Amino acid sequence: MSWFKRLAAETLAPLIDASPDDVQAQLVKPPQPEMGDVGFPCFSLAKQLKKAPPAIAAEIAAKMEFPAGGIFIEAKAVGPYVNFVLNTPYLAQKTAGVALADPEAWGTSTEGDGRTVVLDYSSPNIAKPLGVHHIRSTMLGAALSRLYRARGWEVVDMNYLGDWGVTFGQLMVAYKEREKENPDQPVDVHSLLQLYLQYHAGADEDESLADEARAWFKKLEDGDPEAVRLWRIFRDESIKALKKLYARMNVHFPEEGYKGEAFYNDKMQATIDRLRAKGLLVESDGAQVVDLEQWDMPPCLILKKDGATIYATRDLASAEYRHAHYNFDKSLYIVANQQELYFRQIFKVLELMGYDWAKKCEHVKFGMLAFGAGMFGDDAATMSTRKGRVIFLEEVLDRAVEKARALILENARSEEVTANIDSLAEQVGVGAVIFSEFTQRRMKDVTFTWDKVLSLHGDSGPYIQYTHARLSSMLRKYGQALPSAPMWELVTHPVAKELFVKLSEYQDALAAAERENEPSLIATYLLELCAVFNRIYTDKENFRFITDDADMTAARMSMVEALRLTLAHGMGILGLAAPEAM
């Protein structure tokens, strides 16, 4: 809801003896632009006053007067509605004009000032390459991180790596096996995958390997130097590979954000003690659990029969740690929908522990990522490991870049594009994959197909990037400094008003995206903005950007720059690069 609607409501309210909120809630958009821009229906007033709605509309409209040079020109009765007509040049100044005057401030807000949000995202289980399904948490989290920052919040980015568990014992088994042949075997993320596959192939045949793996993990837990040494190597190599991928996707965790499950090993005992002191731990089949029956949930397992801690124990300890260290106003866990029950249990246990901040924790969940048929053509076999058929994110990115390269070269019209094809293909290919995350609300399952993801016309990342490049190229061709006071009345296209209305809604889109933890609302907004612009751009018969009148051209190019700024800002929040030429 644009700010000007609020102004309409405030103007109208005293005339009909209603509250601005009440009026605002009733405002509608007239079906035709000629009818006006904000409409107030008079039906309920008519009932109260026992008069015909059009008569009431006419009476109200007659009473309304607007000073020249304000946001509204007039209010007119159209049937049963009172319709406000916007003063386009004024609106242009309050939107595009504001953006151009201080581009750094455009899209930012101070609303979050003084508040802290902890974001737990990406958080993969390591010691194997990142699977493509991890892109959802990673991209949603990174977008929310940038969004909250733009909204004034202090943001703590946490990558809660799954860096502990029996998988590490499995890798050690395979590593030791190999060491017999090659004592100096190098370890990187690809050889880790090989070790992983080798272990599973072996374990299928030989059941004793599982015991060996458990024994190695036990050694690790007991601090055995060799086990710890290997664990460190496996972990460091995994993080190295992760960081390379993150850099491609515009994701940056500070060093201090890499606090994985292992970090909480020495903090869990205190958590368990507190649970016990509160009388929350009960025995069940030899294990220690928190009973949640009263809340219709299965018990939350804290200590296994053998005394081992588990995922939940660590999450409780990490929640306490985060609260103690960051004193958050919100703590968001950007984790797949499958863990819905799990997080409800965790938050309930925190509440039972007496933490009133438990209500500040929230599971920001999302649906599944599926792949369309023929996604990887005939070489599907090379794209997936036999165990679990994981598709690696890196390969998806590489494939996207390859396809983007072909697409760009096919459409390339300038030397600039072909000369920069490598970086451009990377920006567009990766951008396409990133944007595909945001084409639907996060709870919807996403089906990934190349056609959809890489389309230059549809609701895709490349389409937005292409529009940005087009705007940039228009500005380059124009090549002059923009005026400090554009004569907005010279932007005369009938759709121009709609474009400025759209610009006035940018801040609302960001606010809504924050409120709902839903970056897709920004993507939707950007697509709509591009669509409005294209209606003007393609109407070449009626509208030129470069005209014979210098003031007119300057005003129109100012609109182009404001639009470009907005696109670039929104793309930046989502994690897409904004190419200047494409």
Interface residue list for ligand ARG (CB under 6 A): 120, 123-125, 160, 162, 315, 333, 335
What is the nearest approach in angstroms of ligand ARG to the Cβ of residue 140?
12
Between 30 and 162, whose beta carbon lies closer to ligand ARG? 162
Shortest distance (Å) from residue 471 CB to ligand ARG: 39
Contact indicator for 359, 391 with CB cutoff of 8 Å: no
Backbone angles phi, psi at 84, to 5 degrees: -90, 140
- Min CB(160)–ligand ARG separation in Å: 4
User: 156 near 579, Cβ under 8 Å?
Assistant: no
Which two three-digit tokens encode residue 290?
């928190």
User: Could you give the strand order of the β-sheet that contains 281-284, starting from the edge strand earlier in sequence?
Assistant: 281-284, 287-290, 300-303
CA separation for the pair 447, 457 (Å, rounded) = 18
* In contact, 162 and 335? CB cutoff 8 Å: no
Least Cβ distance, residue 141 to ligand ARG (angstroms): 10
H/E segment holding residue 387: none
Residue with Cβ nearer ligand ARG (331 or 439): 331
**Residue (134 or 502) nearer to ligand ARG, CB:** 134
Residue among 139 and 428 whose Cβ is closer to ligand ARG: 139
Q: How far apart are CA 171 and CA 173, in angstroms?
A: 5
Cβ–Cβ contacts within 10 Å for residue 211, how many?
Answer: 11
Give least dist CB 211 to ligand ARG, A.
25
DSSP code, position 169: H
Q: Are 186 and 149 in contact (CB under 8 A)?
A: no
Residue 444 C-beta: closest distance to ligand ARG, Å? 20
Amino acid in position 163: D
**What token pair was written down for 90?**
């004024």
**Shorter beta-carbon distance to ligand ARG: residue 125 or 447:** 125
CB 261 → ligand ARG: shortest distance, Å? 8
Of 189 and 510, CB closest to ligand ARG: 189
Q: Is 450 helix (H, G, I), strand (E, B) or coil?
A: helix
Residue 39 tokens, joined: 């409409």
Q: Give me the count of residues in the chain.
A: 582
94: tokens are: 């309050």
Q: What SS3 class is residue 49? A: helix
- For ligand ARG, the closer of residues 261 and 561 by Cβ is 261
DSSP 380-433: HHHHB-TTTT-BBHHHHHHHHHHHHHHHHHHH--SHHHHHTHHHHHHHHHHHHH
151 burial via Cβ count (<10 Å: 0-12, 13-18, 19+)? buried
Torsion 188-192-193-195 (CA) sign: positive
Of residues 125 and 553, the one with the C-beta less far from ligand ARG: 125
What is the residue type of 14? P
Nearest by Cα to 497 from 35, 107, 8: 35
Taking the complex as a whole, the smallest distance from the CB of residue 120 to ligand ARG amounts, in Å, to 5
| CB nearer to ligand ARG: pick between 88 and 345 | 345
Closer by beta carbon to ligand ARG, 124 or else 431? 124
Question: Closest CB to ligand ARG among 84 and 264?
Answer: 264
CB of residue 165 to ligand ARG, shortest distance in Å: 10
Q: Name the minimum Å distance from CB 124 to ligand ARG.
A: 5
d(CA 232, CA 222): 15
Closer by beta carbon to ligand ARG, 155 or else 576: 155
**Smaller CB separation from ligand ARG, 288 or 345:** 345
Comparison of 219 and 314: residue with beta carbon closer to ligand ARG: 314
The answer to whether 302 touches 309, Cβ cutoff 8 Å, is yes
Tokens of 7: 């102004």
Burial class (CB in 10 A: 0-12, 13-18, 19+), 560: buried
Tell me, letter by letter, the H, E, C secondary structure of 183-211.
CCCCCCHHHHHHHHHHHHHHHHHCCHHHH
Residue 402 CA to residue 421 CA, distance in Å, equals: 11
